[in-house]
Amino acid sequence: MIAGIIGCGNIGTELALFINKENNFELSYLCDINNDNIVQLQKKLNKNKPKVVDIEELIEESDLIIESASKDAVKGILRNKDLDKEGKKLLIMSTGGIIENLNSFSKIKNCEIYAPSGAIAGLDAIKSVSGKIKSLTLTTIKPIKGVKDAPYIINNNINLDKLKNKKTVFEGNLKEAIEGFPQNINVAATLFLASKFEDIKIKIIADPDAKTNTHEISCEGNFGKITLKTENLPSKNPKTSYLAVLSAMQTLRNIKDNKKIGI
């Protein structure tokens, strides 16, 4: 299966190295607005040297398109004329981009789209109770360096440099969270895609003592209550949990596996 990666930063690099060891995929194309990312990635690849192309050529030529760039990149990918074809597969890491482009997303009928669970667990249970949910909350606790550069923090002049104790820096809905924390809150977007519940309550807490990215989910309805908690070590990028990378790797395995466990 011919693969192309859009976005060659931390996650894109990890996935490229994973694919480079797999016999089921051939990494043939790379795309990134930052050429340094591509140069550094190519140095680490020993199996082959993928061709550097623009998004249009990558989508046209690849069987498997992997997005690990940003929610803004998702818009152009979903609207690309060559995407919605039989045999095409698209793995999206920046699920916030799906939420902002639901109209384009809903029009895709032929291309298979995968959104990994990312940094949270239990999405199979959440999907099972979709339509029966009465309340759904997501509380995210992150180290200061994981949120300090977020647009919401900057725009609201929230100074976290001298923070001594936990501080709730945001409470709001999904749309506000995606706009204010575009690199932090893909978990909320993925949670919405699984639950179809529009009134998700989101809280983000900065903790100067935190060593992990923690996500707590509480889901209630006439089925009972689902409580989920993950405490994830950050990846090389403090804004991203390593579990998100591992989740994407497992999704790639699932694409070629005829045995499915869970939903």
Contact 226, 129 (CB under 8 A): yes
Task: Report the candidate in 230, 231, 206, 97 with the shortest Cα–Cα distance to residue 146.
Answer: 206
Active-site annotation holds for 215: yes
CB 191 within 8 A of CB 115: no
As a whole number of angstroms, the distance between CA 109 and CA 116 comes to 19
CA atoms of 61 and 209, how far apart (whole Å) = 46
CA distances from 91 to 30, 219, 250 (A): 15, 26, 12
Cβ(134)–Cβ(222) below 8 Å: yes
C-alpha distances out from residue 191 to 85, 87, 104, 112, Å: 27, 27, 19, 19
Interatomic CA distance for residues 183 and 150, integer angstroms: 8
Give φ, ψ of 88 to 5 degrees. Answer: -80, 145
Q: Supply the Cα-derived Rg of the chain in whole angstroms.
A: 18
Q: How far apart are alpha carbons 15 and 66 in whole angstroms?
A: 9
Task: Select from 159, 98, 127, 112 the least CA-distant residue to 255.
Answer: 112
Could you write out the DSSP letters of every residue in 172-192?
A: E-HHHHHHH-TTT-HHHHHHH
Q: Which of 67, 215, 240, 242 is catalytic?
A: 215
Which residues are known catalytic residues? 215
